[in-house]
Protein backbone atom coordinates (compact mmCIF):
# COMPACT_ATOMS: atom_id res chain seq x y z
CA UNK A 1 0.00 0.00 0.00
CA UNK A 2 2.98 2.37 0.35
CA UNK A 3 3.07 3.03 -3.39
CA UNK A 4 -0.65 3.81 -3.19
CA UNK A 5 -0.06 6.36 -0.45
CA UNK A 6 2.77 7.97 -2.44
CA UNK A 7 0.44 8.21 -5.43
CA UNK A 8 -2.24 9.95 -3.35
CA UNK A 9 0.30 12.46 -2.07
CA UNK A 10 1.39 13.15 -5.63
CA UNK A 11 -2.20 13.61 -6.76
CA UNK A 12 -2.77 16.31 -4.13
CA UNK A 13 0.53 17.98 -5.05
CA UNK A 14 -0.31 17.92 -8.74
CA UNK A 15 -3.78 19.29 -8.08
CA UNK A 16 -2.25 22.21 -6.19
CA UNK A 17 0.23 22.89 -9.00
CA UNK A 18 -2.38 22.71 -11.77
CA UNK A 19 -4.79 24.83 -9.76
CA UNK A 20 -2.15 27.49 -9.16
CA UNK A 21 -1.68 27.74 -12.92
CA UNK A 22 -5.44 27.98 -13.61
CA UNK A 23 -6.79 31.56 -13.60
CA UNK A 24 -10.47 30.57 -13.41
CA UNK A 25 -11.54 30.12 -9.78
CA UNK A 26 -14.51 27.89 -10.60
CA UNK A 27 -12.23 25.55 -12.55
CA UNK A 28 -9.93 25.33 -9.52
CA UNK A 29 -12.82 24.47 -7.23
CA UNK A 30 -14.16 21.80 -9.60
CA UNK A 31 -10.69 20.27 -9.96
CA UNK A 32 -10.15 20.08 -6.20
CA UNK A 33 -13.64 18.68 -5.67
CA UNK A 34 -13.06 15.88 -8.18
CA UNK A 35 -9.62 15.01 -6.85
CA UNK A 36 -10.85 14.96 -3.26
CA UNK A 37 -13.22 12.15 -4.26
CA UNK A 38 -10.41 10.04 -5.71
CA UNK A 39 -9.09 8.48 -2.45
CA UNK A 40 -12.63 7.40 -1.51
CA UNK A 41 -13.22 5.91 -4.98
CA UNK A 42 -9.95 3.97 -4.87
CA UNK A 43 -10.70 2.75 -1.34
CA UNK A 44 -14.16 1.53 -2.41
CA UNK A 45 -12.68 -0.34 -5.35
CA UNK A 46 -10.13 -1.94 -3.05
CA UNK A 47 -12.80 -3.06 -0.54
CA UNK A 48 -15.83 -3.78 -2.72
CA UNK A 49 -14.67 -4.85 -6.21
CA UNK A 50 -15.29 -8.56 -6.86
CA UNK A 51 -11.68 -9.34 -7.91
CA UNK A 52 -8.37 -8.46 -6.34
CA UNK A 53 -6.94 -5.19 -7.61
CA UNK A 54 -3.54 -3.53 -7.49
CA UNK A 55 -4.69 -0.17 -6.15
CA UNK A 56 -1.28 1.41 -6.67
CA UNK A 57 -1.33 0.56 -10.36
CA UNK A 58 -4.93 1.70 -10.57
CA UNK A 59 -3.99 5.03 -9.06
CA UNK A 60 -1.04 5.51 -11.40
CA UNK A 61 -3.19 4.60 -14.38
CA UNK A 62 -6.01 6.92 -13.36
CA UNK A 63 -3.74 9.93 -13.10
CA UNK A 64 -1.88 9.04 -16.29
CA UNK A 65 -5.21 8.70 -18.09
CA UNK A 66 -6.36 12.10 -16.82
CA UNK A 67 -3.21 13.75 -18.16
CA UNK A 68 -3.43 11.99 -21.52
CA UNK A 69 -7.01 13.21 -21.87
CA UNK A 70 -5.69 16.77 -22.26
CA UNK A 71 -2.40 15.91 -23.98
CA UNK A 72 -1.41 12.45 -25.31
CA UNK A 73 2.23 13.16 -24.50
CA UNK A 74 1.65 14.32 -20.92
CA UNK A 75 2.82 12.03 -18.15
CA UNK A 76 2.77 11.21 -14.45
CA UNK A 77 6.13 9.93 -13.21
CA UNK A 78 6.82 8.58 -9.74
CA UNK A 79 10.09 9.58 -8.10
CA UNK A 80 11.53 6.08 -8.53
CA UNK A 81 10.71 5.99 -12.26
CA UNK A 82 12.55 7.66 -15.13
CA UNK A 83 11.54 9.50 -18.26
CA UNK A 84 13.24 10.98 -21.31
CA UNK A 85 11.92 14.15 -22.89
CA UNK A 86 14.30 14.32 -25.87
CA UNK A 87 13.30 11.93 -28.70
CA UNK A 88 16.50 12.43 -30.71
CA UNK A 89 18.67 9.82 -28.87
CA UNK A 90 15.91 7.20 -29.22
CA UNK A 91 15.63 7.91 -32.95
CA UNK A 92 19.39 7.55 -33.46
CA UNK A 93 19.63 4.27 -31.51
CA UNK A 94 16.46 2.57 -32.75
CA UNK A 95 15.23 4.42 -35.83
CA UNK A 96 11.90 5.09 -34.10
CA UNK A 97 9.96 8.22 -33.28
CA UNK A 98 7.01 7.25 -31.08
CA UNK A 99 3.80 9.03 -30.15
CA UNK A 100 0.76 8.27 -28.03
CA UNK A 101 -2.87 8.16 -29.11
CA UNK A 102 -5.71 6.95 -26.87
CA UNK A 103 -3.06 5.45 -24.57
CA UNK A 104 -1.54 3.43 -27.44
CA UNK A 105 2.17 3.82 -28.17
CA UNK A 106 2.59 4.21 -31.93
CA UNK A 107 5.62 3.91 -34.19
CA UNK A 108 4.94 7.28 -35.82
CA UNK A 109 8.21 7.20 -37.80
CA UNK A 110 10.40 4.25 -38.75
CA UNK A 111 13.49 5.59 -40.48
CA UNK A 112 14.82 3.59 -43.44
CA UNK A 113 18.04 1.62 -42.87
CA UNK A 114 17.47 1.74 -39.11
CA UNK A 115 17.48 -1.12 -36.62
CA UNK A 116 13.68 -0.86 -36.28
CA UNK A 117 13.23 -1.10 -40.06
CA UNK A 118 15.57 -4.08 -40.30
CA UNK A 119 13.60 -6.13 -37.75
CA UNK A 120 10.35 -5.38 -39.56
CA UNK A 121 8.58 -2.61 -37.64
CA UNK A 122 6.34 -0.54 -39.90
CA UNK A 123 5.11 3.03 -39.54
CA UNK A 124 1.78 3.22 -37.72
CA UNK A 125 2.09 -0.08 -35.86
CA UNK A 126 1.38 -0.18 -32.12
CA UNK A 127 4.07 -1.04 -29.59
CA UNK A 128 2.10 -2.97 -26.96
CA UNK A 129 4.94 -3.91 -24.59
CA UNK A 130 8.52 -2.82 -23.98
CA UNK A 131 10.57 -5.36 -22.00
CA UNK A 132 7.37 -6.87 -20.62
CA UNK A 133 5.88 -3.55 -19.52
CA UNK A 134 2.53 -2.58 -21.01
CA UNK A 135 2.91 0.76 -22.76
CA UNK A 136 -0.71 1.74 -22.06
CA UNK A 137 0.26 2.11 -18.40
CA UNK A 138 3.20 4.46 -18.89
CA UNK A 139 3.70 7.91 -20.36
CA UNK A 140 5.23 8.68 -23.73
CA UNK A 141 8.42 9.88 -22.11
CA UNK A 142 8.75 6.82 -19.87
CA UNK A 143 8.41 4.71 -23.02
CA UNK A 144 11.18 6.73 -24.65
CA UNK A 145 13.41 6.04 -21.65
CA UNK A 146 12.68 2.31 -21.91
CA UNK A 147 13.64 2.41 -25.59
CA UNK A 148 17.13 3.56 -24.61
CA UNK A 149 18.06 0.07 -23.37
CA UNK A 150 20.69 -1.88 -25.29
CA UNK A 151 18.45 -4.89 -25.91
CA UNK A 152 14.72 -4.33 -26.10
CA UNK A 153 11.96 -6.95 -26.19
CA UNK A 154 8.96 -5.54 -28.05
CA UNK A 155 5.43 -6.73 -28.66
CA UNK A 156 4.09 -5.18 -31.85
CA UNK A 157 0.49 -5.05 -33.07
CA UNK A 158 -0.43 -4.34 -36.71
CA UNK A 159 -3.63 -2.84 -38.15
CA UNK A 160 -5.23 -6.31 -38.23
CA UNK A 161 -4.75 -6.69 -34.44
CA UNK A 162 -2.11 -9.38 -35.06
CA UNK A 163 0.74 -9.35 -32.55
CA UNK A 164 4.32 -10.49 -32.83
CA UNK A 165 7.36 -10.37 -30.54
CA UNK A 166 10.62 -8.83 -31.68
CA UNK A 167 14.05 -8.18 -30.18
CA UNK A 168 15.61 -4.82 -31.02
CA UNK A 169 19.34 -4.50 -30.34
CA UNK A 170 19.99 -0.78 -30.26
CA UNK A 171 22.78 0.62 -32.39
CA UNK A 172 23.44 4.31 -32.92
CA UNK A 173 23.21 5.23 -36.58
CA UNK A 174 23.17 8.41 -38.64
CA UNK A 175 19.67 9.68 -39.35
CA UNK A 176 18.61 10.49 -42.94
CA UNK A 177 20.07 13.73 -44.27
CA UNK A 178 18.47 16.58 -46.22
CA UNK A 179 18.88 16.33 -49.98
CA UNK A 180 18.22 18.60 -52.95
CA UNK A 181 17.19 17.53 -56.44
CA UNK A 182 17.02 20.15 -59.18
CA UNK A 183 14.37 19.41 -61.82
CA UNK A 184 13.08 21.32 -64.82
CA UNK A 185 11.92 24.77 -63.66
CA UNK A 186 12.06 23.77 -59.99
CA UNK A 187 13.53 21.74 -57.17
CA UNK A 188 12.65 19.02 -54.66
CA UNK A 189 14.02 19.53 -51.15
CA UNK A 190 13.73 16.41 -48.99
CA UNK A 191 13.85 17.10 -45.27
CA UNK A 192 13.20 13.85 -43.34
CA UNK A 193 14.75 15.55 -40.30
CA UNK A 194 15.80 19.08 -39.39
CA UNK A 195 19.50 18.65 -38.50
CA UNK A 196 21.28 21.12 -36.24
CA UNK A 197 23.23 22.48 -39.25
CA UNK A 198 20.14 22.94 -41.46
CA UNK A 199 20.81 26.64 -42.02
CA UNK A 200 24.33 25.84 -43.23
CA UNK A 201 22.89 23.29 -45.67
CA UNK A 202 20.29 25.76 -46.98
CA UNK A 203 22.82 28.59 -47.31
CA UNK A 204 24.96 26.33 -49.49
CA UNK A 205 22.08 26.03 -51.99
CA UNK A 206 20.50 29.48 -51.65
CA UNK A 207 21.61 30.53 -55.12
CA UNK A 208 20.19 27.36 -56.69
CA UNK A 209 16.85 27.81 -54.90
CA UNK A 210 16.27 31.43 -55.88
CA UNK A 211 13.85 32.48 -58.65
CA UNK A 212 12.58 28.96 -59.31
CA UNK A 213 9.13 28.38 -60.77
CA UNK A 214 8.36 25.93 -57.96
CA UNK A 215 9.85 24.28 -54.89
CA UNK A 216 8.56 21.03 -53.36
CA UNK A 217 9.42 20.43 -49.70
CA UNK A 218 9.05 16.80 -48.61
CA UNK A 219 8.41 16.85 -44.84
CA UNK A 220 7.15 13.28 -44.47
CA UNK A 221 8.74 11.41 -41.51
CA UNK A 222 9.94 14.74 -40.10
CA UNK A 223 8.90 14.39 -36.44
CA UNK A 224 11.95 15.40 -34.40
CA UNK A 225 11.89 18.86 -32.80
CA UNK A 226 14.24 21.65 -33.87
CA UNK A 227 12.70 25.10 -33.64
CA UNK A 228 15.82 26.72 -35.10
CA UNK A 229 14.65 25.13 -38.36
CA UNK A 230 11.40 27.13 -38.20
CA UNK A 231 13.46 30.33 -38.03
CA UNK A 232 15.78 29.19 -40.83
CA UNK A 233 13.07 28.03 -43.22
CA UNK A 234 10.76 30.88 -42.20
CA UNK A 235 13.39 33.44 -43.21
CA UNK A 236 13.14 32.00 -46.74
CA UNK A 237 9.43 31.12 -46.95
CA UNK A 238 7.63 34.09 -45.45
CA UNK A 239 7.10 37.74 -46.28
CA UNK A 240 8.54 40.67 -44.34
CA UNK A 241 7.23 40.98 -40.79
CA UNK A 242 6.35 38.65 -37.90
CA UNK A 243 5.61 35.11 -39.02
CA UNK A 244 5.57 33.10 -35.78
CA UNK A 245 5.33 33.41 -32.01
CA UNK A 246 6.35 31.18 -29.13
CA UNK A 247 3.68 31.27 -26.43
CA UNK A 248 3.29 29.78 -22.96
CA UNK A 249 0.56 29.89 -20.31
CA UNK A 250 1.82 33.32 -19.24
CA UNK A 251 1.71 34.79 -22.75
CA UNK A 252 4.11 35.73 -25.53
CA UNK A 253 7.74 34.65 -25.02
CA UNK A 254 9.33 35.23 -28.42
CA UNK A 255 8.56 36.45 -31.93
CA UNK A 256 10.14 35.33 -35.20
CA UNK A 257 10.46 38.16 -37.71
CA UNK A 258 11.76 38.77 -41.23
CA UNK A 259 13.38 42.13 -41.93
CA UNK A 260 12.87 41.45 -45.65
CA UNK A 261 10.74 38.97 -47.59
CA UNK A 262 12.26 35.51 -47.99
CA UNK A 263 14.04 34.47 -51.17
CA UNK A 264 11.50 31.66 -51.84
CA UNK A 265 8.44 33.93 -51.76
CA UNK A 266 8.61 34.33 -55.54
CA UNK A 267 8.36 30.57 -56.11
CA UNK A 268 5.31 28.32 -55.94
CA UNK A 269 5.91 26.30 -52.75
CA UNK A 270 4.31 22.88 -52.30
CA UNK A 271 4.82 20.93 -49.07
CA UNK A 272 4.28 17.16 -48.88
CA UNK A 273 3.04 15.95 -45.48
CA UNK A 274 1.42 12.93 -43.83
CA UNK A 275 0.59 11.57 -40.36
CA UNK A 276 4.32 11.33 -39.56
CA UNK A 277 4.90 15.07 -40.05
CA UNK A 278 5.09 16.37 -36.50
CA UNK A 279 6.89 18.65 -34.01
CA UNK A 280 8.67 21.63 -35.63
CA UNK A 281 7.79 20.46 -39.16
CA UNK A 282 4.08 20.40 -38.32
CA UNK A 283 4.31 23.84 -36.71
CA UNK A 284 5.96 25.14 -39.89
CA UNK A 285 3.18 23.66 -42.05
CA UNK A 286 0.54 25.33 -39.89
CA UNK A 287 2.29 28.69 -40.40
CA UNK A 288 2.46 28.17 -44.17
CA UNK A 289 -1.30 27.53 -44.28
CA UNK A 290 -2.16 30.40 -41.92
CA UNK A 291 0.00 32.92 -43.78
CA UNK A 292 -0.99 31.58 -47.21
CA UNK A 293 2.61 31.10 -48.33
CA UNK A 294 2.35 27.65 -49.89
CA UNK A 295 0.21 24.64 -50.70
CA UNK A 296 0.03 21.48 -48.58
CA UNK A 297 -0.31 18.10 -50.28
CA UNK A 298 -0.75 14.68 -48.68
CA UNK A 299 -2.52 13.58 -45.50
CA UNK A 300 -3.73 15.42 -42.41
CA UNK A 301 -1.22 15.79 -39.59
CA UNK A 302 -2.03 14.85 -35.97
CA UNK A 303 -1.71 18.16 -34.14
CA UNK A 304 0.65 16.88 -31.45
CA UNK A 305 2.33 19.25 -28.97
CA UNK A 306 6.06 18.87 -28.45
CA UNK A 307 7.47 21.52 -26.09
CA UNK A 308 7.50 19.33 -22.98
CA UNK A 309 8.75 20.19 -19.52
CA UNK A 310 9.17 18.02 -16.42
CA UNK A 311 7.75 19.72 -13.33
CA UNK A 312 8.71 18.35 -9.91
CA UNK A 313 5.90 17.89 -7.41
CA UNK A 314 6.15 18.69 -3.72
CA UNK A 315 5.49 15.09 -2.75
CA UNK A 316 8.22 13.77 -5.06
CA UNK A 317 7.86 12.56 -8.60
CA UNK A 318 6.82 14.82 -11.45
CA UNK A 319 4.34 15.54 -14.17
CA UNK A 320 5.37 16.14 -17.76
CA UNK A 321 3.35 18.74 -19.65
CA UNK A 322 3.60 20.69 -22.87
CA UNK A 323 4.22 24.22 -21.64
CA UNK A 324 4.84 26.11 -24.89
CA UNK A 325 3.59 26.18 -28.47
CA UNK A 326 4.31 27.85 -31.79
CA UNK A 327 1.49 30.06 -33.09
CA UNK A 328 0.92 32.43 -35.99
CA UNK A 329 0.96 36.19 -35.24
CA UNK A 330 -2.75 36.12 -34.35
CA UNK A 331 -2.18 33.41 -31.72
CA UNK A 332 -3.79 30.62 -33.76
CA UNK A 333 -2.17 27.18 -33.60
CA UNK A 334 -2.62 23.60 -34.82
CA UNK A 335 -2.29 21.70 -31.52
CA UNK A 336 -5.13 19.22 -31.04
CA UNK A 337 -6.46 19.96 -34.51
CA UNK A 338 -3.73 19.02 -36.97
CA UNK A 339 -3.18 20.61 -40.36
CA UNK A 340 -5.41 19.76 -43.31
CA UNK A 341 -3.74 19.53 -46.73
CA UNK A 342 -5.08 21.68 -49.56
CA UNK A 343 -4.79 18.63 -51.80
CA UNK A 344 -5.51 15.38 -49.88
CA UNK A 345 -3.81 12.33 -51.39
CA UNK A 346 -4.91 8.72 -51.10
CA UNK A 347 -2.04 7.46 -53.23
CA UNK A 348 0.63 5.11 -51.90
CA UNK A 349 3.77 6.65 -50.49
CA UNK A 350 5.83 5.76 -53.58
CA UNK A 351 3.72 8.03 -55.82
CA UNK A 352 2.97 10.86 -53.36
CA UNK A 353 6.07 12.86 -54.29
CA UNK A 354 5.29 12.51 -57.98
CA UNK A 355 1.79 13.84 -57.29
CA UNK A 356 3.20 16.80 -55.33
CA UNK A 357 5.47 17.73 -58.23
CA UNK A 358 2.54 17.57 -60.65
CA UNK A 359 0.54 19.90 -58.42
CA UNK A 360 3.50 22.27 -58.23
CA UNK A 361 3.59 22.29 -62.07
CA UNK A 362 -0.19 22.82 -62.27
CA UNK A 363 -0.58 19.46 -64.00
CA UNK A 364 -3.56 17.13 -63.65
CA UNK A 365 -3.14 14.17 -61.29
pLDDT digits (tens, 9 = 90+) for 234-291: 999 999 999 999 999 899 999 999 999 999 999 999 999 999 999 999 999 999 999 9
pLDDT at 40 over 70: yes
Indicate which CATH number applies to the domain containing 104: 2.30.42.10
Q: Could you tell me what percent of the chain has a pLDDT over 70?
A: 84
* Within-domain flag for 78: no
pTM confidence score? 0.86
* Within-domain flag for 256: yes
Q: What is the pLDDT of residue 69?
A: 76
CA trace torsion 281, 286, 290, 292 (10° rounding): 50
Q: Which helix (H) or strand (E) holds 333?
A: none
Of 6, 5, 4, the C-alpha closest to 317 is 6
Of 169, 204, 229, the residue that ends a domain is: 169
Q: What is the pLDDT of residue 74?
A: 87
Average model confidence (pLDDT) across the chain = 87
* Within-domain flag for 11: yes
Backbone angles phi, psi at 301, to 5 degrees: -85, 175
Our count of domains for the chain comes to: 3
186 and 62 in a single domain? The answer is: no
Of 241, 254, 348, 359, the C-alpha closest to 297 is 359
Contact indicator for 287, 326 with CB cutoff of 8 Å: yes
Measuring CA to CA, how many Å separate 29 from each of 21, 37, 298, 317? 13, 13, 44, 24
Strand partners for 97: 109
113 and 62 in a single domain? The answer is: no
pLDDT at 18 over 60: no
35 and 131 in a single domain? The answer is: no
Q: What is the pLDDT of residue 61?
A: 64
**pLDDT-derived band at 138, boundaries 50, 70, 90:** confident
Distance CA(91)–CA(98), nearest Å, equals 9
57 and 206 in a single domain? The answer is: no
Domain that includes residue 152, residue range: 88-169
- Residue 324: which region, alpha, beta or left (left: phi > 0; alpha: psi -120 to 50)? beta
**DSSP 8-state symbol, 205:** T
Indicate which CATH number applies to the domain containing 290: 3.90.226.10
Q: Which of the pair, 80 or 234, is modelled with greater confidence?
A: 234
Q: What is the pLDDT of residue 79?
A: 75
Measuring CA to CA, how many Å separate 247 from each of 227, 252, 311, 313, 327? 13, 5, 18, 23, 7
Of 70, 97, 130, the residue that ends a domain is: 70
155 and 285 in a single domain? The answer is: no
223 and 303 in a single domain? The answer is: yes
User: Which of 44-58, 271-285, 296-310, 329-343 shows the lowest mean pLDDT across its residues?
Assistant: 44-58
Q: Which helix (H) or strand (E) holds 233?
A: helix 227-237
- Residue range 104-121: mean pLDDT, rounded: 96
Amino acid sequence: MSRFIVSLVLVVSAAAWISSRTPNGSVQETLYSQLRDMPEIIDLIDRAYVDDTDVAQLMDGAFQGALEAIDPGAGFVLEADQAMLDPWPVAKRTGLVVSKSKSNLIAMVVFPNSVAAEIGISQGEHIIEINGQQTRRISLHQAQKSLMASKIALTIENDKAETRKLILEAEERVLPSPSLELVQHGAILRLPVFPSDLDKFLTKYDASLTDLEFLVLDLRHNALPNDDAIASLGSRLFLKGTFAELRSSVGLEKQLNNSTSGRWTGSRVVILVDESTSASAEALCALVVSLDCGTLVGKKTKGLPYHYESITLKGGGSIILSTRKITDPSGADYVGKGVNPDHPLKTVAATALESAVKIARHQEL
